[in-house]
Structure formats: C-alpha cells, structure tokens
Amino acid sequence: VEFIIRKSYDKLSASEFMDEYTYNIDNIEADLEDLNIMIFDIFETSDDTIDLNFQLENIINICHVYQEFLLKFMQLRDLYIIISSLTDILEGLPTNLTDQQEKNVSRFIKSIMFDLIEFKEQVFVEKTAQNIYYMNASIASSCIQIKYILSNK
C-alpha cells in the first residue's frame, strides 16, 4: 500500500473513464446503490467513531463488496489493492485493543468509508472528478495509519 502513496498516475477524468463503461451503466448504478445502503446503515450516527465490536463484520463485508465492484474496472486496480489491504487488516484486527486504539482505528475506518462515498459520487455519479486516482493516496494513508496504530500497543 505504501507504494501507492508515491505513485504518479496519468490523469484520467471521470467522464473519460465512464465513457468506456456506458454499456454497463445500469449494473454500475445498482452496485453503487447497494454499497450506499450498506455504508449508511453503519454510519448513520454523527459520532466520530464506530463500535468495532458491533460493526466490524459489516465493515469487512462492505470492503469485500467494494473489492468485487472495483474488479470490474482495470483502471481502479490500485484502489482495489488498497481496499484488499484494509480488508486484511480488519480481518486480523486484535480483540484486545485499548480504548484509545479502538477509537483511533474506528476514526480512520470511518474516514476511509466516507472517502469511498466521495469517490463514488465524484467518479460514478456526478462524473466531475478531474482525475479518478485522486483518492488513492488519502485512503492508502489511512490504511497505513491503522497499521501504525495497531503496531504500537
């Protein structure tokens, strides 16, 4: 994941990107709606954090669904790798986190999920992103921060 933060990409706008997938737009929109429902069911509170004991399996499920969605787009391979890394981290999340670790990890998870919502809106819905790769570094950085938090017990 660390290499993605430093990676440079050729600029590809959302409208150019989506022009390649107009034949499949109905399926894409249906998948996105499913992801919206799943994410908003978990993050409907305005709290800064989420209860990992209660929501961890749901978050892992969202990651798996997002990975499956991203597999449809070769240009989004790096984002797929980032979400796969997050999934691995979450599946191996220790049960003995301190309260502070859990609070910090849940903040980064929430940040990643909201970044993914923003990405989805800018790229697939509004098609206004000037570069579809704009969110990779932010999400990768959040994953690295989660790894760092977990390594400092």
How sure is the predictor about 10, in pLDDT bands with cuts at 50, 70 and 90? confident
How sure is the predictor about 1, in pLDDT bands with cuts at 50, 70 and 90? low
- Token pair of 46 as six digits: 């305005």
Q: Which of 5-9, 24-28, 67-71 is most confident?
A: 67-71
Euclidean distance between the first and the last CA atom of the chain, given in angstroms as a whole number = 22
Nearest to 2 by CA among 126, 146, 152, 132: 146
Q: What are the pLDDT digits (tens) for 55-88?
A: 889 999 999 999 999 998 989 999 999 999 999 9
| pTM for this entry | 0.85
- Token pair of 96 as six digits: 């003995």
Q: What is the Cα–Cα distance from 145 to 141, expressed in whole angstroms?
A: 6
Virtual torsion, Cα 105, 111, 113, 119, nearest 10 deg: -150
